[in-house]
Structure formats: C-alpha cells, structure tokens
Amino acid sequence: MSARKARTEAAAVGAAPVDSEEKDVKIPVEAVDDTEANEAAAAEAVENQVEDSNKEATMTEDEMVEAAIRAGEEAADNDFKLKFEQAQKELADVRSELDAAAEAQKAAEDKAKDATERTARLQADWENFRRRTANERIAERERATEKLVTALLPVADDIERAIDHARSQELHVEVLKKYYANMFALAQKCIDKLGMKMEFINMGGGIGVAYSTENDTDLDTAALGAESAAMLAELRQKLGGVRVIIETGRYAVCTAGYYVTKVVDVKESYGTKFVMVQSTLNGFIRPSLARLIAAYLPEGAVAKGNEPLFTKMDAFDFELLTDETASEKVNLVGNLCTGTDIMAAGITLPKARVGDILAITKAGSYAYVLTPVQFSSQPAPGQFLLCAGNLVIIFFQIINIFIAVFFNAVCNNFDLLFIGI
C-alpha cells in the first residue's frame, strides 16, 4: 500500500503545474475509481512479488532443502492419491465383473440342474415305458402262444400220427397210405388254422426195398399209386396249385449197385474157415455194422432197424464169382487189424481161392457216402459203371427202366421226384 500511495502522491505533485494553468478541469468520479482500483491491484501484486523475492533472498539453504522435500512429498502424495483412486476404480470394475461372472455361473448351474432333472425325468419315463411295453409284449406273446397252441392242438395230433408212420424203409402200402393221409390233413389244417400259404408239400421218402429175400416182400407200388391218386385229387381240389413232392431215396438206386472186392487170403483156425477180402469196413461198411450192432446187443435181444446205418442182419447177399461147385461154411472178414472187420459169419459160399471176386448186393444206396474210406490209410475203393459195352448208356437205361416202372405205378400222381444215393 505504501508504494502505491507514494506513486499516487508523486503523480499528483508532477501534475500540479500543468493543471494550474487550466481552470475548471472536471474528472469523472467513476473513471477515477476504476483506474485507482486497477492500479491498486497491480501495485499489490508487485508488492507481494517483491516480498516473496525478498523472502527467497533471505531463505537459508536448509530452509530451501526443507521446502523442496515438502514439495516432493506433496507431489508424491498427490501421485499416490491418483494411483490409489485408479486402483480403487479398477478394483470396483473387477468386483463388478466378478459379480457378473458369479451371476452367469449361477444361471449356468441353474440351467444345468434343470437339464439334469429333466434328463432324470425322461430316463424315468423311458424306463417306465420300457417296462410297460415289455410287459405288454410278454402278455401279447402269452396270448399269441395260447392262440397258437389252441390252433396247433389238432395239427399236433396229425403231426404225431404222421410221425408214427414216417419210417424209412417202409414196405407196407397201408402204412404209407396212412402217412400220406396224415400229411395231407396236416397241410390242410396248417392252412385253415394258421393261415399259411402252401407252395408245396414235401411228402419225404420212406419207400423201402426188400433187402431180405426170405423175410421181406416187395412194396406193391401199383396198389400204393392207386390209393394215393384219390387223396392227391382231393388235395389239389382243395388247395389249388400246390405242388406235391415225393423223395424216392433208396428205392430207385439200392438194388442197382454192387460192391465188388477180391479174396486176399483163405485160412482155417480152430476149425473155422476164414475168407479174407480187400477193404470191407473201409469200403462198404453196412454189412460190418450189422455184425457190430449184433455183437453189442443184450443177450436174447433182436436187432431192430436203425436207418440208414443198419437195416437187418440178412440185408445183403454175397456172391462169389467162381466156377467152383463145392461149397463150405465160412466167416467173411476184412483185411484190417480190428476185430470188428467182419461182414458175415457162418454163411455158405463156394470154396474160395485167393484172387476170386466177391460181389455184395444192394450197394447202390448208403454205400460209399456212408463208409470211412480213409480209415487205416487203406486205398479208397473206385466207383465204376459196369456193362458189356457202353457202360454209361446201359447203366442209365437200367435206371430209366427201373424208374419208369416206379413212375407208372406211383409217381405219375406227384409233381416232383427226388432220387438220392
């Protein structure tokens, strides 16, 4: 204030001579006041600056160090406050993100829990459905089985009656006639009771051959054909175009074949004459099987047919191709090292010599295919068609004539004929 006052006074003294020459000088009061105020403010600022400069000029070195330290501390404090505020803000942001993540996790857990519960409910529903449908299937199967059994009862009766007569090697017309009748009735009931659609009826085989010339009688095929014709006509009238098949089996081929071998040794032991021939058990096994079965039967028992392995004891004839007129009782055996290789015992044959040919009848069926031809590493027997000229033509002529007789008697009534060996 003193400096401003001094300057004001100096200005007033300097201006007096000039103003004294003029009269009535008017100065606006407001203008003077504003100028004075501005000047006063400027003078005060200069005064403060001068005072500060004077203070600085008068500060000691220690005071200056202390002032610098305080200034640094204030700057550090201000920087720390700024960083703290930034950290607080970042912490708040992280907490906000964590809260959002927690909410999202809870929502996901709730969703997973809901899905698990729905899955459990679906699985329970599926198990209930599975058990229910299983029980329904069982019940339906029981009902269907009951219906089927009810429908099959009369059919089963016919099946049993058919089985009673479904024997192989049958020589009686009445037995085969009953068998055919039961088969036709069975087919009719399968259609009526079960709703089956028949394409064909296979009557099977069973037609026999008179193996024993003493104890068997040939099948009367003419009578069987006449009896079956009426049944077939009635069946075709009821069932329409159903094919009827019959299998002739051994009937067509059994007597057309011979097993031929040769004598390899003749000897006598303890009063019994043995004629040994080549490849019996391992060439044509059926005669040896007959002896084997008889050997294991209980005492007094009668050997029954067990087709196709065994028919009866006297099923085969043994013919020695020789000019010898003298005969003798012999045991016919094979050349294998086994006690079961016996074809016949106590039969009467012409006196045999080594090299003679032996023929065994009724070897056209169940012969080579049934025999263990590789047994004991013996050579397998050959298969030939024998005749005095063109053996193939003559053989088939014989078969054709044989089958033609059979066709005329029986099989003209059937649609298909199987011939098996």
Instruction: List, in order, residues 6 or more apart from 114 with CB less than 8 Å away.
Output: none
Q: How many CA atoms lie within 13 A of 317 on its CB side?
A: 14
What local confidence, expressed as pLDDT, does residue 1 receive? 46
pLDDT tens digits for 298-328? 877 777 767 777 888 888 999 999 999 999 9
pLDDT at 329 over 90: yes
pLDDT at 156 over 90: no
**Does 125 or 142 have the greater pLDDT score?**
125
**Does 384 or 262 have the greater pLDDT score?**
262
* Domain assignment of residue 313, yes or no: yes
Query: From CA 168, how far away is CA 16, in angstroms rounded?
Result: 173
pLDDT at 357 over 70: yes
Closest listed residue to residue 313, CA positions, set 269, 265, 347: 347
pLDDT at 41 over 70: no
pLDDT at 17 over 70: no
pLDDT at 267 over 90: yes
∠ CA 135-128-130, rounded to 5°: 55
Number of domains in the chain: 1
Q: Which value, to the nearest 10 degrees, does the dihedral of the CA atoms of residues 138, 144, 145, 149 take?
A: 170
Instruction: List, in order, residues 6 or more apart from 288 with CB less than 8 Å away.
Output: 280, 281, 334, 340, 341, 342, 343
Confidence of residue 39 (pLDDT cuts 50, 70, 90): low
What local confidence, expressed as pLDDT, does residue 228 receive? 83
Alpha carbon of 321 to those of 252, 273, 350, 353: distances in Å?
Answer: 26, 18, 9, 11
Which range, of 48-52, 328-332, 357-361, averages the lowest pLDDT? 48-52
Closest listed residue to residue 308, CA positions, set 189, 201, 206: 206
**Cβ–Cβ under 8 Å, residues 335 and 288:** no
* Domain assignment of residue 218, yes or no: no
Alpha carbon of 248 to those of 204, 377, 407: distances in Å?
Answer: 8, 34, 10
Return contacts of 216-220, CB within 8 angstroms, 24+ apart. 216/171, 217/171, 218/171, 219/170, 219/171, 219/172, 219/173, 219/176, 219/251, 220/173
Instruction: List, in order, residues 6 or more apart from 202 with CB less than 8 Å away.
Output: 245, 247
What local confidence, expressed as pLDDT, does residue 340 receive? 84
CATH number of the CATH domain containing 332: 2.40.37.10
* Domain assignment of residue 1, yes or no: no
pLDDT at 230 over 60: yes
What local confidence, expressed as pLDDT, does residue 409 receive? 43
pLDDT at 330 over 90: yes
* Domain assignment of residue 246, yes or no: no
Cα dihedral across residues 12, 14, 19, 25: positive or negative: negative
Instruction: List, in order, residues 6 or more apart from 330 with CB less than 8 Å away.
Output: 272, 273, 274, 275, 347, 348, 349, 352
pLDDT at 80 over 80: yes
Name the residue range of residue 310's domain: 259-361
* Domain assignment of residue 175, yes or no: no
| Paired sense of beta strands 416-418 and 327-333, if any | unpaired
Which range, of 42-51, 218-227, 271-280, 360-369, averages the lowest pLDDT? 42-51
Closest listed residue to residue 8, CA positions, set 37, 51, 31: 37
What local confidence, expressed as pLDDT, does residue 176 receive? 86
Task: Please measure the distance between the N-terminal and C-terminal CA atoms of the chain and give it in whole angstroms.
Answer: 154
Confidence of residue 349 (pLDDT cuts 50, 70, 90): very high
The sheet with strand 357-360 has its strands ordered as 318-321, 357-360, 259-269, 272-277, 327-333, 342-350
* Domain assignment of residue 332, yes or no: yes
The whole-number average pLDDT for the span 179-187 is 83
| Paired sense of beta strands 342-350 and 272-277, if any | unpaired
Instruction: List, in order, residues 6 or more apart from 320 with CB less than 8 Å away.
Output: 263, 349, 350, 352, 356, 357, 358, 359
**Does 207 or 161 have the greater pLDDT score?**
207
pLDDT at 166 over 80: no
Mean pLDDT of the chain: 76
Closest listed residue to residue 4, CA positions, set 41, 52, 55: 41
pLDDT tens digits for 89-99? 888 888 888 88
* Domain assignment of residue 404, yes or no: no
What local confidence, expressed as pLDDT, does residue 159 receive? 58
What local confidence, expressed as pLDDT, does residue 170 receive? 84
* Domain assignment of residue 98, yes or no: no
The whole-number average pLDDT for the span 344-362 is 93
**Cβ–Cβ under 8 Å, residues 287 and 343:** yes
The whole-number average pLDDT for the span 70-75 is 84
What local confidence, expressed as pLDDT, does residue 321 receive? 92
**Does 23 or 208 have the greater pLDDT score?**
208
